[in-house]
């Protein structure tokens, strides 16, 4: 069995990619690599999702897989991302020289795949795409049938109605999406955070807050619920 690192955002596609890798019997996921945006005040957020990094750490702990954070300044360009990725992979390879594969939950965006493959090839790593080319409507139903649970934590308000923010990612949510939206949100229509599922050792207890408005995106303020 070969070791692989999985790039994760904590969303449904990341967890489906994890599921696919482990179910194949060919891969051992030795670590989760998370891109975190760092604000000037030092706060850290899941890149693109607007969710605090503390939730991703809690998710990784519930999955029993080490989390390797890759920190970049908010709004960093592709060059800065490449530098941060190189540094992170060097650290991972130092811990386990046999690892040379990084997996992603990408589904069909050719330009993103090509960017990842070029970058990893330059660094001496190989990219894996365990979900690539799968029909997104079927993949969405598979996610639900497997028993994964997710919240819709970010939306593009120009493409998704605002009242769908904070909803459970379920059949009702999928039915309420506009017809031109991808059911997996692969074009950036929405993002999710997975809080329970078949590979969790325990579910996460979440506390909802308000809504944050950023250019082109609404995000749900979310935190771990305090222990009773």
pLDDT of the residue at 152: 97
How many structural domains comprise the chain?
2
Query: What is the b/e burial string over 118-128, where b = at least 16 CB atoms within 10 angstroms of the residue's CB?
Result: ebbeebebebb
Q: If pLDDT is split at 50, 70 and 90, which confidence band does 171 have?
A: very high
Q: If pLDDT is split at 50, 70 and 90, which confidence band does 93 have?
A: confident
pLDDT of the residue at 28: 93
The CATH code of the domain that includes 184 is 3.90.1490
- What CA–CA distance (Å, rounded) separates 97 from 100? 8
Tell me: pLDDT of 39 over 90: no
The CATH code of the domain that includes 7 is 3.40.50.620
Q: If pLDDT is split at 50, 70 and 90, which confidence band does 49 have?
A: confident
* Residue 52 forms part of a structural domain: yes
Residue in 200, 206, 203 with CA at minimum distance from that of residue 223 = 206
Q: If pLDDT is split at 50, 70 and 90, which confidence band does 228 have?
A: very low
Tell me: pLDDT of 118 over 90: yes
Please indicate, yes or no, whether residues 100 and 180 belong to a single structural domain of this protein: no
* Domain with 93 in it: 2-128
Taking residues 149-166, report their average pLDDT. Answer: 96
Q: Where does 11-125 show beta strands of DSSP type E?
A: 27-38, 44-46, 67-73, 101-103
Tell me: pLDDT of 191 over 80: yes
Please indicate, yes or no, whether residues 157 and 212 belong to a single structural domain of this protein: yes
Rounded to whole angstroms, what are the CA distances from 226 to 13, 62, 153, 205, 207? 28, 16, 20, 8, 8
pLDDT above 70: percentage of residues in the chain: 99
């Amino acid at each position: 069995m070969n070791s692989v690192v999985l790039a994760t955002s904590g969303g449904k596609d990341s967890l489906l990619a994890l599921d696919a890798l482990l179910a194949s019997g060919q891969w051992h996921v030795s670590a989760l690599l998370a891109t975190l945006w760092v604000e000037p005040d030092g706060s850290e957020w899941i890149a693109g999702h607007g969710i605090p990094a503390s939730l991703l750490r809690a998710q990784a702990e519930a999955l029993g897989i080490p989390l390797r954070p890759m920190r970049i300044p908010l709004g960093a360009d592709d060059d800065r991302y490449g530098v941060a990725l190189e540094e992170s992979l060097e650290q991972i390879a130092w811990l386990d020289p046999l690892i040379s594969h990084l997996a992603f939950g990408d589904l069909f965006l050719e330009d993103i795949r090509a960017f990842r493959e070029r970058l990893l090839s330059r660094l001496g790593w190989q990219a894996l795409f365990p979900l690539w080319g799968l029909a997104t409507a079927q993949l969405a139903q598979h996610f639900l049938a497997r028993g994964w649970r997710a919240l819709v934590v970010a939306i593009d308000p120009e493409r998704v109605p605002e009242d769908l923010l904070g909803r459970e990612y379920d059949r009702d949510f999928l039915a309420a999406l506009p017809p031109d939206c991808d059911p997996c949100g692969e074009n950036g229509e929405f993002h999710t955070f997975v809080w329970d599922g078949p590979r969790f050792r325990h579910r996460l207890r979440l506390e909802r807050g308000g809504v944050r408005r950023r250019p082109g995106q609404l995000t749900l303020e979310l935190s771990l619920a305090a222990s009773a």
